[in-house]
Amino acid sequence: MADSFGPVHDESGTADAEGGGGPGADAGGARKEPIRVLVVDDHALFRRGLEIVLAQEEDIQVVGEAGDGAEAVDKAADLLPDIVLMDVRMPKRGGIEACTTIKEVAPSAKIIMLTISDEEADLYDAIKAGATGYLLKEISTDEVATAIRAVADGQSQISPSMASKLLTEFKSMIQRTDERRLVPAPRLTERELEVLKLVATGMNNRDIAKELFISENTVKNHVRNILEKLQLHSRMEAVVYAMREKILEIR
């Protein structure tokens, strides 16, 4: 595995209501059990490289591997991993298609797409299918473990070069929805809208709390309520939904 990556952009900041401290964490937020990871990639050498890198991390355990999306679904159902680290383009069944099914057979698993694809369509489809992270294989090997921990703790991770493409996709969605009638979105309170707008700027819970002069726990509660009302699973999905339904506007 080439050690050649750039920095990973954290889309959500600190751990929040989505993660609750992450899998295996106690009430104080300290992790008692290692994060269980399933590695999915059609290149055996790349899978082996990831295993070697992650084996050096005491709080991360690779519990299985798969060479395509179909095998990934079976392994996820059997192993119930905390994190699925998966490529987008694979034979038999692609990662994005597998993502949807994995969320059905292993609902608690969080999926990080690790891919060479920098296509906007793949990024958007992955988020829509339930992925919590989208990282390019150009990131450094050291950052893979960091990203796994962040996603396990309830954050969303996206490579910086893809973040701007995500905004471009948001704008395109808004333009497309201008031409058709929208289904009324669930009603958010004024405070929830304020929180959602700040989440969309990439602010973490601590900074949002300071901006709105409220406690960090209150921010976490607002984020939880927003996700429940929108029937979504992550902050990233909430922002996509908000843009599509014109709750928020990108200028």
CATH code of the domain in which 206 resides:
1.10.10.10
The token pair at 251 is: 């200028």
- Whether 94 and 198 map to the same domain: the answer is no
pLDDT, the chain, mean: 79
Asked if the structure places residue 1 within a domain, the reply is no
Residues 45-49, mean pLDDT to the nearest whole number: 92
Cut 0.85: pTM above it: no
Is residue 153 classed as helix, strand or coil in its secondary structure? coil
Asked if the structure places residue 4 within a domain, the reply is no
- Whether 54 and 173 map to the same domain: the answer is no
Q: Which residue has tokens 């059905």?
A: 104
Does position 214 have pLDDT exceeding 60, yes or no?
A: yes
- Whether 144 and 239 map to the same domain: the answer is no
Does position 51 have pLDDT exceeding 90, yes or no?
A: yes
Q: How far apart are CA 89 and CA 235, in angstroms?
A: 25
Asked if the structure places residue 98 within a domain, the reply is yes
Asked if the structure places residue 71 within a domain, the reply is yes
Higher per-residue confidence, 127 vs 70: 70
Query: What range does the domain containing 62 cover?
Result: 9-162
DSSP 90: -
- The per-residue pLDDT for range 153-202, each reduced to its tens digit, is 888 888 767 766 666 656 665 555 455 444 455 688 889 988 988 887 66
- Whether 42 and 157 map to the same domain: the answer is yes
pLDDT at 229: 86
Of 132, 162, 192, which one is at a domain's C-terminal end? 162
pLDDT band for position 57 (cuts 50, 70, 90): very high
Of 162, 191, 206, which one is at a domain's C-terminal end? 162
- Whether 200 and 153 map to the same domain: the answer is no
Number of independent structural domains in the chain: 2
Residues 134-141, mean pLDDT to the nearest whole number: 86
Q: How far apart are CA 103 and CA 43, in angstroms?
A: 23
The token pair at 239 is: 């922002």
Q: What are the DSSP calls for 168-219, one per residue?
A: HHHHHHHHHHTTSPPPPPPPPPHHHHHHHHHHHTT--HHHHHHHHTS-HHHH
Extended beta strands in 32-105, E state: 35-40, 60-66, 83-86
Asked if the structure places residue 89 within a domain, the reply is yes
- Whether 198 and 216 map to the same domain: the answer is yes
Cα-based distances in Å from 203 to 86, 195, 227: 27, 10, 17
Of 162, 178, 206, which one is at a domain's C-terminal end? 162
| CATH number reported for the structural domain that contains residue 70 in this entry | 3.40.50.2300
| Amino acid letter for position 146 | T
